[in-house]
A and B are shown apart, each in its own frame.
Chain A
Amino acid sequence: MKIMEEYFYTKNHEWVKVEDDTALIGVTDYAQHAMGQIVYVELPEVDDEFNQEDAFSVVESVKAASDIYMPASGSVLEVNEDLEDEPELINEDPYTNYICKIKLSDKTEINNLMNSKEYSSFCDK
């Protein structure tokens, strides 16, 4: 299972890659394995605003549909439109194929997420 060192993680298996006051958000390698073959991603819309832990997207696999929750509050700057036609990109490379990019409204929220080491032991439990 792949974990990226400089990313932050949630207990629901979302990842955050912080760049200044923006962040890329996606689902982890652990999550895509658990979900199986992904067939559809319901993307949020640009300018949508979310609080930390709000459901902002749905990833549907052949097994089930799972809500994806916002790791940190913010407004959507862009969405990864490639996923509309090729949702399986998340299975192929979950860390490059982000779901959306947000403008962080409160950077301190990142402090209550896990770093890669913490996330690694969280997954091993």
Chain B
Amino acid sequence: MFPYLPHTDEDINNMLDVIGLRSIDDLFSDIPEDIRLKELLKINNPMSELEVSKYMNNIAKKNKSTDELVCFLGAGAYDHYIPSIIKHITSRSEFYTSYTPYQAEISQGTLQAIFEYQSMICELTGMDVSNASLYDGSTATAEGAFMACASTRRNKVAVSRTVSPGTRKVLETYTKYKGIELIEIEEKDGVTDVDDLREKMNKEVACVIIQNPNFFGIIEDVSKVEKITHESKGLLMVNAEPISLAVLKSPGEYGADIVVGEGQSLGNPLNFGGPYLGFISCTKKLMRKLPGRIVGETEDVDGKRGFVLTLQAREQHIRRDKATSNITSNQGLNALTAAIYLSALGKEGLKEVANQCLQKAHYAADSLCKTNKYELRFNKPFFMEFVVKSSIEPEKVNEELLHKNILGGYEIGKDYDKYKDDILVCVTEKRTKGEIDNLVSIMEGIE
């Protein structure tokens, strides 16, 4: 007898009698004998609740989180401040469910929250339409590529090598099984190589994907990329960092057709790598190819404002084979978190966060360069991350920092052979002047 299984042997036998079977095993008679598991699972013995929580806590203690460490690591996941209001709202039972409630009759609250999220994403990206969200930034990029292929009826996708390596790997996986050809555009001096793009761009390429600020933290000048892309009637997709959009021009303003990105920065914890939040938005012209769910505002028969899922004909349950994507899931709770974060901070608050990231990152970069042991790899404008060329092995630098409870930057040599001496340092608004000065003095002292 297990404490959480209420059925006695007598109950089980009664149920088996009713359906005319003799044993539980009869329920699995359609699974061939030779592939059935005959022995018990090799797992530990059962434990009480108290034992389980002790056991788990002991495992958890082996981890060091950003609570104990001072974090200068970014590269796609960011240690931003999370206002405490978020957990109080998201943990309300009306919201706290793994199920996406979308029946308009009973889910006006959730639908409105998603609608507000979509509206704010559109405002940040400068696009007309956003969906209710996708798994994460990299899958959103892949879904955007499918969208571009569907709407241009082309079968090649170009991605800049300044786009995060993780995102490019996901793109590779997604496109491989759809028969879409993925072309990489070279990186030059930390930005997209425009000459290489010009050479590879033609009327077979559905879209060009760039990241802004890019993987190296650099704010790319997209004007030439936009021109080359649109001259061949391709679509421009920008993978954007949402916090940066508070102080940078929106991708919509510089000609993007699709804007995607990772919304973890918007109030979502680092969560050991997930669950995260993929946002995707596009121009009105492309909205019928947008994957996933879209919430719209409408009126009921009495003229009262209401929220419903809209443009459903795009969706896979209407025309499975013709749908842009067969993903219906959205990251409802993470999208809600983003909506609360953006509402709590407001326009000025978000600008303040972005500005602090910008100022503090530049202060850290200047201070590191003054040590003469590190120099900026690229002479280009950057937002909250920057690449330094280190005179000491990056692994060694990070090891020393970890001894001092500092999570150092990302060793980009892992992904780019030519930058094996380089570290990608990230400075968010959470870092204090004291923490930055401490980082610099430790890094200066490493021999």
Identify the A interface with B (CB < 8 A). 40, 42, 58, 60, 64-65, 67
Contacts and interface: CB of A to CB of B under 8 A. Distances in A.
A64 B320 CA distance: 12
Contacts of A42: 288
Contacts of B319: 64-65
Interface of B: 288, 313-314, 318-319, 322
A84 to B, nearest CB: 9
A60 B322 contact: no
B122 to A, nearest CB: 20
A42 B318 CA distance: 16
Nearest to A60: B313
A6 B319 CA distance: 34
A64 B319 CA distance: 9
A48 to B, nearest CB: 8
Give the residue among B288, B313, B319, B322 with the most A Cβ atoms within 10 A: B313
A54 to B, nearest CB: 12
A67 B322 contact: yes
A67 B319 CA distance: 10
What DSSP secondary structure best describes chain A's contact surface? strand
Nearest to A45: B153
Contacts of B314: 65
Contacts of B322: 58, 65, 67
Nearest to A42: B288
Nearest to B233: A45
Nearest to A65: B313
A64 B288 CA distance: 13
A64 B322 CA distance: 12
Given A64-B319, A65-B322, 13 more contacts: A40-B288, A40-B313, A42-B288, A58-B322, A60-B288, A60-B313, A64-B313, A64-B318, A65-B313, A65-B314, A65-B318, A65-B319, A67-B322
Contacts of A64: 313, 318-319
A58 B313 CA distance: 11
Nearest to B314: A65
Contacts of A65: 313-314, 318-319, 322
Nearest to B315: A65
15 contacts: A40-B288, A40-B313, A42-B288, A58-B322, A60-B288, A60-B313, A64-B313, A64-B318, A64-B319, A65-B313, A65-B314, A65-B318, A65-B319, A65-B322, A67-B322
B372 to A, nearest CB: 59
Contacts of A67: 322
A74 B319 CA distance: 27
A43 to B, nearest CB: 12
B54 to A, nearest CB: 56
Contacts of A40: 288, 313
Contacts of B318: 64-65
A58 B314 CA distance: 11
Nearest to A58: B322
B312 to A, nearest CB: 9
Contacts of A60: 288, 313
A29 B444 CA distance: 79
A60 B322 CA distance: 13
B434 to A, nearest CB: 58
